[in-house]
Structures are given as C-alpha cells and as structure tokens.
Chain A
Amino acid sequence: MAVSKAYLKEEREQEWRVEVRKLLKNKERTALPRVKMGEVEARERICSNIEVNKGLSADEAVNEARRCLDCPDPTCISGCPVEINIPKFIKRIEQGDFLKAARVLKETSTLPAVCGRVCPQEKQCEAKCFYQLKLKNEPVAIGYLERFAADYERESGQISVPEVAPANGIKIAVIGSGPAGLTFAGDMAKQGYDVTVFEALHEIGGVLKYGIPEFRLPNSIVDVEIDNLKRMGVKFENNFIVGRTASIEDLKEEGFAGFFTGSGAGLPRFMNIPGENYIGILSSNEYLTRVNLMDAANPDTDTPVISGKQVAVIGGGNTAMDSVRTARRLGAERAMIIYRRSMEEMPARVEEIKHAQEEGIEFLTLTNPVAYFADEKGRVNKVRVQKMELGEPDASGRRRPMPVEGSEYDIDVDTVVVSVGVSPNPLIPSSLPQLETTRWGTIVVDEDKLQTSIPEMFAGGDIVRGGATVILAMGDGRNAAAAMHKYLQDKRNA
C-alpha cells in the first residue's frame, strides 16, 4: 500500500509547511547536531522498573525537528511499514504544534507511543533518512520525535480519537491483541465495522505486554493506546481462546463475517541439549510473561519466579536482552548473555545492547551451551559451554559459528533463560485443518492482501512472518484491514 507521491506533494505544498521550511536555510539545518536522549543512570535503573529512556523535552524536540529538511522526496516514509507522513509530523513539532503532530501519527499508526519506543528505527525510517543516505551523517531522530509527540498528547490530556465512519453493522473478529491485531482493529473500526478483539490472556496487548518489559515499554503506555481503541468502539474479550473457548464456526454462527488472525509466535523453542529439563531452566517467554504479567518478581505471589543470583541467558536477540536485564533487576549478581557468534552478529538493537552493557551484563560471545548439570534435587547448577569461532558467511550473510573442539568449560548458574527464538502459535492452524500453513507453522497468505486459504480469514504479524518487528506487524494489520474492507465490500456488491 504505497502512499501516493501526488498526495505527499500536495501536503508538502501547504502554506504552513512552506512557511516552516523558510525558518532556516538547509545549511543551518544540517549543521545542527542530533539530539541525545536522556537516560536514567544505570545504577539507579537496575534497582527498579523505571523506564530507561527519559524522552525529549519540548525544546529538544523542536531543535531536533529543525534538522529535518522536509525533502521533496521523503525517502524516510518508504522505510516505515505503516507509512507515517514523517516530514509532516516533524514539521508540526518544529512549528510547536505538538498535538497536531500526534494527529498526523495517528492518521496511519495505531500505536505511536509504542513505536517511538520499540521500533528499530535505525534499520527502518532513519536508515532511509537523507542525512544517512546522502550526507553520511546521523539521521534525524525520527523515533525520538515520534515518542515525544505521542507522549505529549497523552500527558496533555487532550488525546484525539480518530474519526470513525458510521456503523455498518458488520461484525469482525480479531484473534490476538498484539500489534497486528490492534492495528487491524483500529483501521476496521475507522471504517465503521463492529470489531471484537479476542485475547487468550487476561491482559490486552499481546507481546507488547507479556514480552516487552516495563523498563522499555511501560504497560501504562500500551493501555492508553488500547483505551483509544475502546473509545473508537472496539470491544475486547479477555481470557478467550479462539479454537478452545469457541471455535471459528461458533463465532460465524454469532454473526462474525470476517476474521483476522494475529495470534503471534508464542511457542518457545529450546535447543534440546542434555539437561535442558532441569529445574531453573526456562524459556524467555515464560520468564518474561511471569514477570511482566503475573507479578512473579514479587516473592509473595502464588507463583514467584526464582530470583537467580547467577543467571545465564542464551541468545542474542532483543528478547534475550529483555530477559537478562530483567534478571539484573530481580537481583542477579552475575547476569550473562551467552551467544554463539560475536557482538557484531547479534540481532538485538544496538541501543538494547548498549543499555545492557551499562547495566553490568556480561557478554560471553563466541560461546555456546552444550549441556546442563544439576544438584541432587534436580536444580540446575552448571552450564557446560563450548567456545566457538567464526567461519565463512552463512545464508544470513553473517559468519557461521563453528565449535572449537576441546574448548568446553563449566559456568556456575542457578537460573538459565533460553531465548533462542519462538515458533508460531499452533492453536488457530490446528483448529482449522483447511487453513494452509507452511512447514514452519506460519499461515500462508496472499502477499499483498494477507488473505488466507479461508477467504474470510486474513492474517498478519508473527503468525505469518514467523518473527517480525512491532511495526511490521502493524503494517500487516493495516494492509489486511484495507484488503478485508475491499473483500467485504465486493462481496456485498456482488
């Protein structure tokens, strides 16, 4: 769904934009340094769940917005899966009209405050910024500005609710309340559909709530975005497992005409190495969900998580960073990342790695677990690791990790969190035999329409991609909503 160039040009030629551009010469704009986001000191933040990034002040945001050249060909937009009109919202910030900036974000994004915090902008919009592409300079801090505008609107108490078309009476079911489902729900609600989101857990938000810790994305931020959807008329059913509580057929009988599956990838993977079933070894899904959603860090709860003193987290992605930093906050004296490649090959965001390092996390790179050992009660007490070296590049373009024979040694641990990826949630595919899936368990969809082999079912996010960023899942939600709207309209007019 490419945004039209004519539309962007028309927007750019609006009088207020022209006036803002005239405020500074381009040379003056490019001479401005990129803003640095304030952070809570590491020694302070590891004692609590306080959000690490402080956000920008109004002055910092306006100064950073001045750096944006409002390019005639805004390449940054092509890097955004939901095609936010980036120069437009940034120029609203430069103008000082922060509420209007937030409204621009909401034209295409259901979760701007979330994206401003967790999107890998360095790989998306900011990677396509003119500064980066042509000037080889630091890009405009689009992510910081997005967060600023969204936060400003929320804190101002003047939250705008997107316009909603008159109700058309068509019931739509959304399975899963993660970023794909919420975005789809918002876009369908805008079109006047009667949308109900079914969530298996007791909290709405999917991976945004259970997967991303409070210190990176406070739940209150997600709740505000969900409240906004509620104000648009979207209904939510918690503790409802589609495929168990009710089947798709049951929902059809209740009058649901369209379905969007965004049930995510919540099935943890393990390495299946000897000893992996010992007590004290758990998946990052379990670890983070229990801490983030079930208050398991509190020793007085029914099912507290063990606050290990020597915690090893296996993996090098964002989830591994979230897990190891959570362990640190729960009192780990030694919190380690064990990763089989080097720092350069880690999939985690650079910012997350930096924050982890500041918090005293040890990085045992080029190191891979081969077995676990336990005490007489079956509690893990050691991990045997093997040193690795890098060979030729593999299919991912990264150098392949190769074991160094005879290099094994043991590390004392009392908790191990395995964070080596997840698989798609199997519930929906297994309850619908006619639904076409891949051998990886993902749902097969038409690439443009995101329509599945069951015509009235569309799907997006991790259940289709296997693993994706929040913003890509949101992009799927948007595209699927547009495609389902067309499908239902065509069906009605046929």
Chain B
Amino acid sequence: MSNLQTTYLGIPIKNPIVVGSSGLSSTIDGIKALAKAGVAAIVLKSVFEEEIKAEAEQTIGQQLGQDDNNLEFYDYYDYQVKNEVLDRYVSLIREAKAAVDIPIIASINCSSYSEWVSFAHKIEEAGADGIELNIFKLPFGVKDEAAAIEKIYFDIVDKVKTSLRIPFGIKLAPYFTNLGNVIHRLSHSGAQGLVLFNRFTSVDYDIENDQVVVGKVYSNADEYVNSLRWISIAAPNAGCDLIASTGIHDYRTLVKMLMAGASSVELVSAIYKEGAEVVGAMLSELEQWMSRRGFQSIADFKGRLSQGEASNPEVFERVQFMRYFSGHKQ
C-alpha cells in the first residue's frame, strides 16, 4: 500500500485530492458525501463581499419607504446582511467540522482590505483549519498600472497574515504581466499555499438568439497545461505549497501535477461531471501507478519533472512553434 500523505497549505492531509471551492461544498450533506468519497480536505464555497453588497442594495431598493422615512433603519443595512451571511458561513464551518474528520478550508473573496481581515478573523474564530483567499479583480481599468494591481495582492496578504493564526493560501489568476515573479514573491510572502490557477466564468455568445451568455461552466481535460507549466517553473524555488487546479480530470493529470511539484490538487469539474466516485477511482489508479513505478510515497516523485529537475528545462520557456521545436510528435 502506497503512502499518499502530502500537504495542503502546509496542513498534513491523507492524500493529494482536495475539493475546490464550489457548490459541491456549500451544504453539510454535500460535504459529508465528499468526505465519504475519500477526499483529503474540502474548500468551502466562497463567501463574496460583492454578493453581500448586492443583496443589501436589493433589500434597500425594495424596502426603503416613502420620503426615505426609514433611511436610518437601512443606512448601515449592508453590515446586517454581511453579519447574517457570515453567521451562516460560520455555522457551515462549525457543522462541517463536527460532521467530518478532514480539514475544512474556508474561502473568501472581498473587495476592500478591511473586509479581508474582518472576514478572515471571523472564519478563524469559527474553527476553520485554513483559509483560501480568492483574490481577483478583472484588470479592465485602462488607467490601472500593472504594478498597482500586483500591489493589491501583497497588501492583502500583509494585512491578513498579521491577524491570522491559521494557515492561509491564495487562489491565483494566471493574468499577470510577470506571472513568474508574482508567484515567486507570493510564495515567500507568508502564505502557506498558492493555488494555480483560479478558473473564471467566461462570456460567450448565442449567435442564434443574439444573446450574451455564460460560457462553459466546467473545465475539460485539456485545460490543465497552463497550471502544469507554471507549477513546474515555480516549484524549485517556491516558499510554500503549490496546489494545482483547473483541468484535472483523471489520475494521469493528477500524477503530472505532483511530478511538476504540486503538493496536492483541487478538483471540481471532474466531480460535477462524474460524481464523487471519481475521487476513489483516481486515488486507486494513483496507487496502482505508484506501485508500477516503484514509488512508496508522494515525496518519491513530487517535483521530479519540475523545471529544476527535468532533463530539458528549456521546454518550459518555449511558447512558439518553431522548426527546431523537436519535442512535438504527430
């Protein structure tokens, strides 16, 4: 029997499969089912500050009386909604901790620095084992300098780390001017893990009905390559756990991510598509592969094909198809 133990945000976990933040982890029943299926840790569905603000706005719009006669009642109503949402989230954390014996990781997405700290503080008090900071703001501001956008990430980490005792990680977007630099610096910033990468909703067009629609919700098995490249590049000098996310649908990709240097992976789309049973199947195939290859533990092959260890490290830096790009075979 192979030893599948590894870490996530520095937290020891029994195997490398963690459920990513999603609707799968938004209820106690869902959490219990995932734990039963064998996952090693669960990231709860994110709580979004923007969602709280939108709910408060909607309430105020509906409830504000004639001549604003109850304006005093609703003047700070966003705090009321926030407290209700956070209370529900705290209950979910507490119930999840009581229901399962694997690490429960909270996930937050805020739009202001102070709220990152405030949310994180409350989640820590609730007993979560760690927090994933789901930081991302679409950089569509034409006047925003890249350096200023990057600074936001580091400022948030600085604020959060001074007020938290539990481990925290950052779920990162791949959209940075110098991604390698950002990953490297963030991995040494005090965070205990970086999740590479966040997969965002996309926009698509319905050309028969002339409508803008939400693009494909789930990832497919070909989407893993970007995460693989950057984990491979970052792993040799990373200061914290790297966690792979996006496009991990079978044990082969799981193995690839570990060989690239990831300590664990986050699964969502594969479970949505194939059910929680996919976890057991992937773990079983991972064990068979390890046995076939003679590996006793994850540590035996983790990072084996990272840029630092690979025999042809230059491949990771090639992005253009050129005649002398000999590695490609039809």
Q: Which residues of A come within 8 Å of B, CB atoms?
A: 120, 123-124, 127, 265, 269-274, 315-319, 347-348, 370, 386, 394-396, 402-403, 405-406, 408, 420-423, 440, 465-469, 472
Contact = CB atoms under 8 A, between A and B. Distances in A.
B272 interface: no
A274 B67 CA distance: 35
Interface stretch (B72-80, B222-230, B239-247, B255-263): B72-80
B113 A405 contact: yes
Given A273-B118, A394-B57, A405-B113, A421 B72 contact: yes
A468 B114 CA distance: 31
A465 B79 contact: no
A265 B74 CA distance: 13
B68 A347 contact: yes
Interface stretch (B19-27, B33-41, B58-66, B178-186): B58-66
Central interface residue in A402, A467, A468, A469, by most chain B CB within 10 Å:
A467
B75 A316 contact: yes
B99 to A, nearest CB: 26
A218 B112 CA distance: 44
Chain B binding site: helix, strand, loop or mixed by DSSP?
A: helix
Contacts of A472: 65, 69
A49 to B, nearest CB: 23
B156 to A, nearest CB: 10
A421 B75 contact: yes
B150 to A, nearest CB: 14
A129 to B, nearest CB: 14
A270 B118 CA distance: 14
Chain A binding site: helix, strand, loop or mixed by DSSP?
A: loop
A408 B112 CA distance: 13
A315 B76 contact: yes
Contact of B155 (A120, A271, A405): A405
Contacts of A127: 67
B76 A421 contact: yes
B86 interface: yes
A271 B63 contact: no
B118 A421 contact: no
Given A270-B79, A395-B60, A440-B63, 6 more contacts: A272-B83, A395-B57, A402-B112, A405-B112, A421-B76, A421-B77
B214 interface: no
Contacts of B77: 421
B71 A347 contact: yes
A386 B65 CA distance: 30
Contacts of A402: 112
A367 B133 CA distance: 26
B70 A396 contact: no
B118 A274 contact: yes
Contact of B69 (A272, A395, A468): A468
Nearest to A369: B114
11 contacts: A269-B76, A274-B163, A315-B75, A318-B72, A396-B68, A405-B113, A420-B75, A420-B76, A466-B74, A467-B70, A468-B69
B113 A271 contact: no
Given A272-B83, A274-B121, A394-B57, A347 B67 contact: no
B76 A396 contact: no
B61 A395 contact: yes
Contacts, number: 96
Contacts of A319: 72
A271 B79 contact: yes
A459 to B, nearest CB: 16
Given A274-B121, A403-B114, A420-B79, A394 B60 contact: yes
Contacts of B68: 123, 347, 396
Contacts of B63: 440, 466
B70 A271 contact: no
Contacts of B64: 395-396
A386 B76 contact: no
A265 B77 CA distance: 14
Interface in B255-294: none
B74 A467 contact: yes
Interface in B101-147: 112-114, 117-118, 121-122
A445 B55 CA distance: 23
A84 B169 CA distance: 63
A422 B117 CA distance: 25
Contacts of B82: 272
A129 B80 CA distance: 37
A468 B122 CA distance: 32
A252 B65 CA distance: 34
Given A269-B80, A394-B60, A317 B65 contact: no
A272 B52 CA distance: 15
Nearest to A384: B114
Contacts of B86: 272
Contacts of A420: 75-76, 79
A396 B69 CA distance: 11
Contacts of A396: 60, 64, 68, 71, 74
Contacts of A123: 67-69
A317 B75 contact: yes
A273 B132 CA distance: 21
A465 B83 CA distance: 21
A269 B77 CA distance: 9
A52 B61 CA distance: 36
A420 B74 CA distance: 9
A319 B70 CA distance: 13
B69 A469 contact: yes
B68 to A, nearest CB: 7
Interface string B82-104: 11001000000000000000000
Central interface residue in A270, A395, A440, by most chain B CB within 10 Å:
A395
Contact of B73 (A271, A273, A405, A466): A466
Interface string B305-316: 000000000000
B21 to A, nearest CB: 23
A296 B259 CA distance: 70
Nearest to A274: B121
A437 to B, nearest CB: 14
Contacts of A348: 72
Contacts of B112: 402-403, 405
B79 A272 contact: yes
B73 A467 contact: yes
Contacts of A273: 118
B114 A269 contact: no
Contacts of B71: 317, 347, 396
Contacts of A270: 79, 83
Interface string B149-178: 000000100000001000000000000000
Contacts of A406: 113, 155
Contacts of A386: 114
A280 B82 CA distance: 24
A121 to B, nearest CB: 12
A105 B13 CA distance: 75
